[in-house]
Chains A and B, each alone.
Chain A
Amino acid sequence: MSTADQAIRFDTVSKSFGDGRVLDRVSFDVARGSACCIMGRSGTGKSVTLKLLLGLLKPDEGRIYVNDVQIETLNSTGLVEVRKTMGFLFQYSALFDSLSVAENVAFPLRRHTRMSEAEIADSVRERLAEVGLEGELDKMPLDLSGGMRKRVGLARALALKPSILLVDEPSSGLDPITTREIDKLLMDLKASSKTTMVVVTHNVPSARRIGDQLLVLHEGHILARGTAEELDQSKDEIVQQFMTLATDEPANASPTRSASAIGRSHKKEVEYGVQG
């Protein structure tokens, strides 16, 4: 694949915090318009990978390319320009709690476009309608449920119509039905606007639904990489354990069944944690 087809390229990237090496010469790339799901146990550097991609952290070694721009060498002005092409959905949404839902979504439009207030209001309504929250314009973030906050976070991340969307734990703290709704929003987005996505998740069924490419991080290295089917065939014990969680949930499971399946998956995850 030529570099022109790659929206994101991680080239032998290492990152340490104190004595702990979180990422050790990690390399991967994400094709334009595709979705890459990064999985792995807690503390394996998944969220760090996203923050490196956004330039919130600098790598100790290696190079990171976003839309063919090497970002770790950029100054703050350069980073601002790159970030305009990216959206980030935070694990806990990170909405500005002093601003209403509408103001949160309008924030990047007011900052980076020359749109009139009427155009901004239309765009905000459009973005919120996409995530099913057109009636919640004037609510404050603290008045929203976790799932609603996540949707507002998604609407805000998409406000500037980014070509790359980074998503940190979209299903964290959400019930299985809301998790599926968020997954569907992401899948619809990928299908309709060809947005490149990097999704960090613990939820293997979610990763199966969203990801064209799955990547398992373990102890600072990429343990496995490929489609869900390819990872299902992996001989590696840890990858097998990870992927087995997904087989507990049939692809056409109803939300109720899905919930019980996730409950079983969680039990296995706990067992896996003990073994690991």
Chain B
Amino acid sequence: MISAFAMRAIRVAFQPPFELREVVHQIYMAGWRSLPLVMTSGVAIGVVLSMHTRATMERFGAEALIPSALAIAMISETGPLMTGLLVSGRVGAGIGAELGGMKVTEQIDALESLAVDSFHHLAVTRIIACMIALPILTTIMNFSGLIGGFLAETAISNVSLRLYFHQAFAGIGFVDYALPTLKTVVFGFIIGTVSSYLGYTTTGGSEGIGRASTRSVVFSSMLLIVINVLLVRIIFLLFPAGAL
């Protein structure tokens, strides 16, 4: 059923009306409002990763590689996956609960009665918004992680910001950034589709809304982690030189 829902979303997304106003509103809800969570988490993850990396690198006298190692870890995997999981928790739960609430209070039927295609207006706009917001949030997560890494590193080695970032990006090309970041478009599709589907098919009042919200987070996180394995494998196969 969810695959039929996803296929319908892809088909309807290319049909007018394109609901640009609602898409922008949903990008604001899913993207802008996730910024504090993503930035705070990014800085914290950067600090922790930097401390772990230093502990290992010091043994080999390779402290100079700490910024580069941190950048590779953040950009290739930690940033995209953490952003996906954070957004699936915050936005996925929100979409599941919001659409579930609209379903049980007949607001979705009300949209239909007002001659509005509720599927397009509610589900497709949220899926598109997640697909647009995720790569942007991932980029911000990566940058926040590097800032966190710099803060941890400068407290110990007094390295300058300029030198830290120069070393961090020394071994990273555009493809190294683009491929892992673009895979979060798929994460956005998964989060938007799973949570919209579970919200749309909610039954059973407030208990049903709670169930839709919880399931949205559990299923989208689970699916996201599993699909990530597949996507990384595909990246390695298609771009062996670009895969970090």
Contact = CB atoms under 8 A, between A and B. Distances in A.
B117 A83 contact: no
A76 B117 contact: yes
B115 A94 contact: no
Interface residues of A, number: 28
B157 interface: no
B110 A83 contact: no
9 contacts: A54-B112, A56-B109, A56-B112, A56-B113, A79-B115, A84-B115, A88-B113, A97-B107, A108-B115
B75 to A, nearest CB: 37
B106 A80 contact: no
Contact of B110 (A80, A81, A90, A160): A90
A87 B116 CA distance: 13
The 4 A-B pairs with the shortest beta carbon distances in the complex, nearest first, are A88-B113, A94-B110, A83-B115, A94-B106
Interface of A: 51, 54-56, 76, 79-81, 83-84, 86-88, 90-92, 94-97, 107-108, 111-112, 156-157, 160, 166
Interface string B108-144: 0110111111000000000000000000000000000
Contact of A96 (B110, B112, B115, B117): B110
Nearest to B12: A76
B105 interface: yes
Instruction: Name, among B105, B106, B110, B117, the residue most crowded by chain A CB atoms within 10 Å (CB to CB).
Output: B110
Interface residues on B, range: 10 to 19
B105 A83 contact: no
Contacts of B117: 76, 80
The binding surface of chain A is classed by DSSP as mixed
A156 B114 contact: yes
Contact of A97 (B105, B114, B115): B105
Contact of B114 (A51, A91, A108, A166): A108
Contacts of A51: 109
A92 B113 contact: no
A51 B106 CA distance: 12
Instruction: Name, among B109, B113, B116, B117, the residue most crowded by chain A CB atoms within 10 Å (CB to CB).
Output: B113
Contacts of A94: 105-107, 109-110
Contacts of A96: 107, 110
A83 B110 CA distance: 11
Instruction: Name, among A54, A92, A94, A157, the residue most crowded by chain B CB atoms within 10 Å (CB to CB).
Output: A94
A55 B117 CA distance: 12
B7 to A, nearest CB: 15
A54 B113 CA distance: 7
A90 B108 CA distance: 12
Contacts of A95: 107, 110
Contacts of B114: 83, 107-108, 111, 156
A92 B106 contact: yes
